[in-house]
Amino acid sequence: MSSGDQRLDAVIRLTCGRALQLPPLPVEVDLFDGKPDEEPVVAAFAEQFATDVSGIGDNQRARFVEALGDRTFRVAAAVFVADFVPRVGAGLDALGLGHPGREGPVGWDHDSDPSQALLGEFVPAVARLAALDPLTTEVVRLRGAIAHNCRLCQSLREEHALDAGGSEPLYAEIRDYDRSERLSEAHKAALRYVDALVWTPSAIPAEVARDVRRHFPEDQAVELTLDVMRNATNKIAVALGADAPRVASGTERYVIDDDGQTVFAETA
């Protein structure tokens, strides 16, 4: 999947790899010749996106949009791919589950829109997975929402998780989960893993990985890793300032339908 510009793809992938201290996704071209004006803008955006997306301010956002025009969303999606695919590989490696795609040949796709692949295919495909219980899935989602300061995500509550024991008192303890008396030890293990993937993907503590494998069998550990990536697509909205909640106050309920799509329900 490409931003539509091979040089920009190289800038994005090398910048994200450097920011994450992880091997970047492969690149097609070198950057020794020329330097279009947009490249420093995109590189700065990609670095902030990868390190802490909530730090992208109005000025940086405006410069990014001005430089890219109608390519803005596609390039932002390409930044997300370069940011999060290496994280998933690092997470699966830490869990002893291998690193899919590392050894195979590199195939270049200049035509597929990464935003469509992410939001139209990847996100619903992960949402359809059902190895994890709904409450764990929701607890993990809300931790990612806090980490990326996604206002929309923090305002949402999944109905199946509420039916499975989710509540506002329990969710309130996600921010300081190590001190929680309501969250289970499995939840705490999952949340430590979320934090490691978000903040220190190149140095996931061995004890964090061990706790995940102790509480979650392989299929659940893989789903947990993919859930963190699925939830983190909120970084695109946060980066572009499009994460305003749909309700003025309180929370809004939603369910995931059989196709993996989000269906909004009543407010609470």
pLDDT at 33 exceeding the cut of 80: no
267: part of which helix (H) or strand (E)?
strand 262-267
| Residue 252 backbone dihedrals phi, psi, to 5 degrees | -120, 135
Q: Which range has the worst mean pLDDT, 89-98, 101-110, 205-214, 239-248?
A: 101-110
The per-residue pLDDT for range 5-25, each reduced to its tens digit, is 888 889 999 999 999 999 999
Which residue, 64, 19, 14, is CA-closest to 42? Answer: 64
Q: CA-to-CA distance for 58 and 44, rounded, in angstroms?
A: 14
According to CATH, where is 1.20.1290.10 located in the chain?
119-267
Mean pLDDT score of the chain: 92
The per-residue pLDDT for range 87-111, each reduced to its tens digit, is 999 999 999 998 766 666 777 777 7
CATH number for the domain formed by residue range(s) 119-267 = 1.20.1290.10
Which residue, 88, 96, 131, is CA-closest to 209? Answer: 96
* pLDDT score, position 32: 60
